[in-house]
Amino acid sequence: MKFLVTVKRVTDFEAKVKLKADKSGVETSGVNMIVNPFDEIAVEEALRQKDKTGGGEVVVVAIGTADSTAQIRSALAMGADRGILVKHDGALDSNGVARLLQKVVEKEKPDVVFMGKQAIDDDSAQEGQLLAEVLGWGQATFANSVTLEGGKATVIREADGGLETVACELPCIITADLRLNEPRYASLPGIMKAKKKPLDELTPDALGVKLESRVVVKGFEEPAQKKAGQKVADVAALVDKLKNEAKAI
Amino acid sequence: MATHLIVVEHQSGKLNKATLSAFAAAAKVGGDMHALVLGQGVGDIAKAVAPYAKKVHVGEHAGLKDRLAQPYAKCIADVAGSLGATHVWAAASSAGKDVLPRVAARLDAAMASDICAVIDEKTFKRPMWAGNVIGTVELATAKKVITVRPTEFSAPAAGAPGEIGAVSVDPGASKMSFVKFDAVVSDRPALADARVIVAAGRGVKGPEGIKGVLEPLADALGAAIGASRAVCDAGWAPNDWQIGQTGKVVAPELYFAVGLSGAIQHVAGMKGSKCIVAINKDPEAPIFQVADYGLVGDLFKVVPELTEAIKKAKG
């Protein structure tokens, strides 16, 4: 089977998030950049499903500047077969991403597109659903386990209140939740091989997509800080505070 | 003037109260309030939301028995189109997150996810980077789709019940089918509705720690139980219990973080709680920075004591 996986370059989840001095965005200089962790899970799932379903191809796509090549190479080092970078500099909203990915999908014709359920920078969690709708495909978001069999994907999804199982005809979109798998570490030979794997570049123009900004970011601010709390000496003091000060019990 | 369509979420014949936050957010924009209830045999749900809407549209169809993103999105977008809705709203629950982006794509509308404030009819604030940054976004399309963080908007006051009427819906051809739903069965309140939450971190050391130490505290308080990602990943608690950036966002009156270090990803899901108590043996644990009351100590000793003291205090 053929799998397409999307990867986004994001700030390291372990790095402290700080706004730039002029508040125009989040500081990225000197900050480690990684593959969005949910996308890494998506890459891992594509690699496992390729093995389970008897081979095929895993194609990794990223949208961004040449910097995003590093994230594509990380996925190639894990074992993906080739990469595509859609070159774009500047703001891009989820609708723009979906329209670019739609063209890539129409060109590549994968059986399944694996994506992360959300990017840990903007936390929108829209992309898989948008792409599924523009393609007219079925979707299984927040995937906890995936079985590809008989021309369909049977997916257990993490939902409020429990686990839901849905079936989607192929091709379909599957977005990875945290517990779908544990991504492998790239091996040294994997990293060496990744350098030689094909990486094509495309542009919005070449894909015939005219981008317009429909979600305009007007500004960023830091959230209100909670005022410092207090340490209490023992259980009796805690219960007293909860009862008489906070009036919470 | 704005025309709002609020997508009403329900599960097992009951209204999901998170939906009321969407009514509250839409009310801040002002305009006509319409509600849409999709499903089968959903008359009672329509009645439950009638006090918040001018009109409740009930779309019943055999193809909508189970909530699936593709047919639901089509029906929502069709109704929004025929109403001339300017704004389509839902709670940012797992169902809202699943369905609403597809509605946005169908309506060619820009979308804002998980908003925490309404500035005006096109401008909203939303948490990003695990709540470390609040972004202000403007939706530049004529139609707008928004999901609302339930903890940031209290339920609006009930008014005179609006009119309830049937609307014809066509789910169309779908590439998806429902197989089953395995509910997490619990006698405790749901995390989203709980007044008190007791949350377990890695410090509980295993499912026995939750059962033996946290459950009695939760029983004494009538609390829901939540967990950090590490606890869910380890399989000590159901995934549905996870609180944080990628799990549930909660804001109860009282939150106990027990044996929980307080990674920013967890704090993102609970820092809106009114009163936070942290119990941890590590005095340097980051959770103490967000706690109103911190108690440094061994949870296996402190929590049973606390449980007894609370029982006594509550008489």
Q: What does A110-162 look like in DSSP terms, one character per residue?
A: -SEEEEES--TTT----HHHHHHHHHT-EEEEEEEEEEEETTEEEEEEEETTE
Q: In the structure, what pLDDT confidence band is assigned to residue B293 with cuts at 50, 70 and 90? A: very high
Interface membership of A31 toward B (CB under 8 Å): no
Tell me if A130 and B105 make a contact (CB, 8 A cut-off): yes
What pLDDT is attached to residue A130? Answer: 98
Q: Has residue B189 got a pLDDT over 80?
A: yes
Q: Has residue B186 got a pLDDT over 90?
A: no
CB–CB contacts below 8 A, A to B: 257
What pLDDT is attached to residue A54? Answer: 94
For B196-313, give the CATH class.
alpha beta
Give this complex's ipTM: 0.96
Where in the sequence of chain B do the CATH 3.40.50.1220 domains occur? 196-313
What pLDDT is attached to residue B33? Answer: 97
Mean per-residue pLDDT of chain B: 96
Residues of B in contact with A23 (CB under 8 A): none
Residue type, B165: G
Q: Which of A33, A137, A142, A238 to mutate to test the interface with B (most CBs of B within 10 A)?
A: A238
Tell me if B313 and A239 make a contact (CB, 8 A cut-off): yes
What pLDDT is attached to residue A90? Answer: 87
Supply B260's token pair.
């929980």
Buried residues in A194-221 as b, exposed as e (16+ CB within 10 A): beebebeebebeebebebeebbebeebe
What pLDDT is attached to residue A226? Answer: 78
Interface membership of A24 toward B (CB under 8 Å): no
What pLDDT is attached to residue B205? Answer: 98
Task: Provide the strand spans (E) within B260-302.
Answer: 275-280, 293-296
What pLDDT is attached to residue B52? Answer: 98
Residues of B in contact with A151 (CB under 8 A): none
* Residues of chain A with confidence (pLDDT) below 50: none
Residues of A in contact with B175 (CB under 8 A): 136-138, 168-169, 172
What pLDDT is attached to residue A52? Answer: 97
What pLDDT is attached to residue A199? Answer: 98
Q: Has residue B313 got a pLDDT over 90?
A: no
What pLDDT is attached to residue B2? Answer: 97
Of B113, B136, B239, the CB nearest to A124: B113
pLDDT tens digits, B146-182: 999 999 999 999 999 999 999 999 999 999 999 999 9
For B3-166, give the CATH class.
alpha beta
Of B128, B254, B293, the CB nearest to A122: B128
Where in the sequence of chain B do the CATH 3.40.50.620 domains occur? 3-166
Tell me if A95 and B110 make a contact (CB, 8 A cut-off): yes
Q: Has residue B12 got a pLDDT over 80?
A: yes
Q: In the structure, what pLDDT confidence band is assigned to residue B184 with cuts at 50, 70 and 90? A: confident
Chain A closest CA to B245's CA: distance in Å? 8
B12 → chain A, closest CA residue = A161
Of B175, B290, B292, the CB nearest to A246: B292
Of B69, B135, B184, the CB nearest to A139: B69
Q: Has residue B102 got a pLDDT over 80?
A: yes
* Strands of the sheet with B224-227, listed across from one edge: A230-232, B293-296, B275-280, B254-258, B196-200, B224-227
pLDDT tens digits, B82-95: 999 999 999 999 99
pLDDT tens digits, B195-236: 999 999 999 999 999 999 999 999 999 999 999 999 999 999
Q: Has residue B10 got a pLDDT over 80?
A: yes
Buried residues in B12-49 as b, exposed as e (16+ CB within 10 A): eeebbebbbbbbbbbbebebbbbbbbbbeebeebbebb
Q: In the structure, what pLDDT confidence band is assigned to residue B45 with cuts at 50, 70 and 90? A: very high
Domains and CATH numbers, chain A: 2-245 (3.40.50.620)
Tell me if B175 and A138 make a contact (CB, 8 A cut-off): yes
Residue B150, preceding peptide bond in cis (omega within 30° of 0): no
Alpha-carbon separation of residue B69 from A129, A138, A214, B66 (angstroms): 8, 8, 23, 10
Interface membership of A68 toward B (CB under 8 Å): no
